[in-house]
Amino acid sequence: MINYYEILGIAHDSTAQEIKKSFRKRAKEIHPDVRPDNDRGSEEEMRLLLAAYEVLSDIEKRDEYDRALHAFIRVRGFDYREFLRRRADDPLSQSKLIFHDLLANHQEEAVELYERLTAGRGFELELYLSREDYMDCAFLLAEVFEARRRYNEAYELYLKLYYYECDKPYFHHFIDEVIDRLRTLLCFKMLPGLEPGDAISRLKEMMKLDFSRKDNAFFCKKLAEVYVTLGQQQAALHYLQKGLQLDRKLSGVKKLMERIGCPVCLDNP
């Protein structure tokens, strides 16, 4: 596999400006008009130089090329992980190391590095990975946090993934799993440990998202349950009625009505 970084004479973490500068410099050196005594060789070098510049100057093409190059290097025995670990002062390399470790089942190291980097000011993983890699990486991180019962961290990552997907689809059918995990995390794992005010805010946040009517009905019922614990029966009744308007087959209504203390039949809300 041709190493375009070597063709341009640049490092793997070179910026777009450095790539352009090196391309112009190399182009002047090998242009056939400058070296007429070796036209065929110069033309081939120029062709490779143009190909390298075309790929590395395009963010998406460069990201795809980097993955292919890294895979090729690893096959030849290059320790890619150690290469990234040695570049501790480079946020791009460290971001790639987090993703690499998650894929390679080094979860402990990945989480530790992620937390150390995000503890500092200004670091955001999505700034250093391609959009697709970030989404994959964030999903893997969320899974690790969820497995370790760090539900708030997992929830925030899943929520960010949902917004990313709405902005520009990538996960496609996987987004259903993200939605399911958001709903399960909030309603069955997080709510018991949240203060009523926080629980209400989270549930209302969920209702602003483009979930199904059935999902929103379920959130309404959960809101009603929280308001009951606060002794706000009128608010509880309001959200229970709203939930039934969205889903007439909403379960658990009878018991909740008893808790609200309202004898009114809600068959026709």
pLDDT per residue as tens digits for the range 227-255: 999 999 999 999 999 999 999 999 888 88
Rg (CA), the chain: 27
Topology of 1-78 in CATH? Helix Hairpins (1.10.287)
Query: Which CATH code of 1.10.287, 3.20.20, 1.25.40, 1.10.3470 fits the domain covering 194-269?
Result: 1.25.40
Predicted confidence band at 4 (pLDDT cuts at 50, 70, 90)?
confident
AA identity, residue 13: D
**CA–CA gap between residue 118 and residue 113 (Å, rounded):** 9
Backbone angles phi, psi at 53, to 5 degrees: -65, -40
Predicted confidence band at 141 (pLDDT cuts at 50, 70, 90)?
very high
pLDDT per residue as tens digits for the range 185-218: 999 999 999 999 999 999 999 999 888 999 999 9
pLDDT per residue as tens digits for the range 17-44: 899 989 888 887 876 555 555 554 567 7
AA identity, residue 107: Q
CB distance 156 to 205 below 8 Å: no
Residue 12: count of CB within 10 angstroms of its CB:
16
Could you please report the per-residue DSSP string of 110-143?
HHHHHHHHHTSTT--GGGTS-HHHHHHHHHHHHH
Verdict on whether the full-model pTM lies above 0.85? no
Q: Where are the alpha helices (DSSP H) in 208-232?
A: 213-229
Retrieve residue 139's tokens.
């999903």
CB distance 186 to 206 below 8 Å: yes
pLDDT at 266 over 70: no
Retrieve residue 255's tokens.
């018991």
Q: Choose among 246, 189, 254, 260: nearest CA to 218.
A: 246
Distance of CA 151 to the CA centre of its chain: 16
Side-chain-facing half-sphere of 265: CA atoms under 13 Å? 2
Domain ranges of the chain: 1-78, 194-269
Question: What is each CA distance from 46 to 25, 31, 170, in whole angstroms?
Answer: 12, 7, 36
CB distance 19 to 26 below 8 Å: no
